[in-house]
Structure 1
Amino acid sequence: MFRPLTLLVILALTACGAPVIGPGEPDLVQTLAEAPPGAAAGTCWGKLVTPAVIETVTEQVLVQPPNALEDGTITAPGVYKTETRQEIVTERKVTWFETPCPADLTPDFVASLQRALSARTIYRGAINGQMDGRTRAAVRKFQRPEGLDSGILSLAAAQRLGLVAVDLQSE
């Protein structure tokens, strides 16, 4: 059940033409207003933000060495203190990828996407033309081997599926 504020935000996003991202896509953005530097006008982009991985490191640091006699007998043990610090293991990463624009994601296009994913045994849901959770999960599964762990369809994946024309440029 949606809370009233959540429902209001969803309705506002839907009215603006912005796609509503389902659960499991908290750091995912698909927008017409934001694009990477140098993006061509009229193109649509998805942004996947992978948060930094931070680890807590705890070490015992010697403050005072132990007192020892010449024969090795310890008269006073060493004094240690515990130091804890945060360490970034993996930096935060922002991945931009071109996507079909929301206006292109018609029910017919999404149904074709579902059929293409179904033919590859990735999608097992109904061919209903809706970009629902099952469809996004299948898109994620299809794109993951190419290095994009996202439920938003990239333009490259749409081209590989035969859903979008490939721009052949002569070299």
Structure 2
Amino acid sequence: MIKPIPLLGLVLACATATGCMEASVARAPTAPAADTIAPLSAPEVVDAQTGTCFARTTTPALIETVTEQIMVQPALIRSDGSVETPAAFRTVTRQRIVRERREVEFETPCARVLTPPFVASVQRALLARGYYRGPITGVQDARTRAAIGRFQADRDDVLTDMLTLRTARDLGLVAVPRDTL
């Protein structure tokens, strides 16, 4: 029996396995569609003028649950300082959006750069910084993507498990342009 693969899982698997798709046309503006929900709403593109690869992803909303004690009735204090009636409190729990869901576009190393030796270098760099625990395989597996995500979270980079150009630069694997120094 053939088991159906969910479309979203297929899109994610194809996008992470193939890297960025190279094209000879200039990069068009990538305004997100209003009804786009998938994490990768468009394939990675190459800016024909600069040769830079870009990817888009949807960062999830960050929601926290806040529990507070709200005073319903203050304590009644006698003239001698003793408490006649203690204060009454009510527990209120609510959710608060810390960060909105949004689509972001970011630079990423192109597919021709993401070779097994380069991915092994990424794994070694993450291992040296304490983010990766596992064998150096040269394969972008779930363990490697999770380590990339943790490193990005600590560096305030785009929260994705894809290797961004900024992450690669922070790891010392891609040269920093002179004009940014």
| Corresponding residue of 1:151 | 161
RMSD of the TM alignment (CA)?
Answer: 3.7
Which residue number corresponds to residue 161 of structure 1? 171
Residue 70 of structure 2 corresponds to none
For the structure 1 residues 30 and 128, does the alpha-carbon distance in structure 2 shift closer, same or farther, using more than 3 Å as the test? farther
Go from structure 1 to structure 2 and tell me whether the alpha carbon gap of 1:128 and 1:30 turns closer, same or farther (over 3 Å shift).
farther
Alpha-carbon shift at residue 40 of structure 1 (Å):
5.1
Deviations 1:121-159 (A, max 9, x none): 110011000000000000000011232211001111101
Look up the SS of the partner of 1:103 in the other structure: coil
CA shift in 2, pair 1:92/1:5, >3 Å: closer
CA deviation after TM superposition for structure 1 residue 95, in Å: 1.5
**Residue 97 of structure 1 aligns to a residue in which SS?**
strand
The answer to whether the 8 Å contact 1:98/1:155 transfers is: yes
Give the alignment's TM-score, normalised by structure 1: 0.58
Cα separation, partners in 2 of 1:136 and 1:4, compared to 1, 3 Å? same
Residue 101, structure 1, aligned to residue 101, structure 2: no
Q: Which has the larger radius of gyration?
A: 1
Percent identical pairs in the alignment equals: 44
Alignment size in residue pairs = 126
- Contact 1:115/1:127 (<8 A) preserved: yes
- 2:55 maps to amino acid: G
Q: Distance in 2 between matches of 1:107 and 1:170?
A: 28
Question: Residue type matched to 2:163 in 1?
Answer: L
Unmatched tracts of structure 2, length 5 or more: 21-37, 64-96
Amino acid at match of 2:152: Q
- 2:143 corresponds to: 134
Pair 1:120–1:29, CA change in 2 (3 A): farther
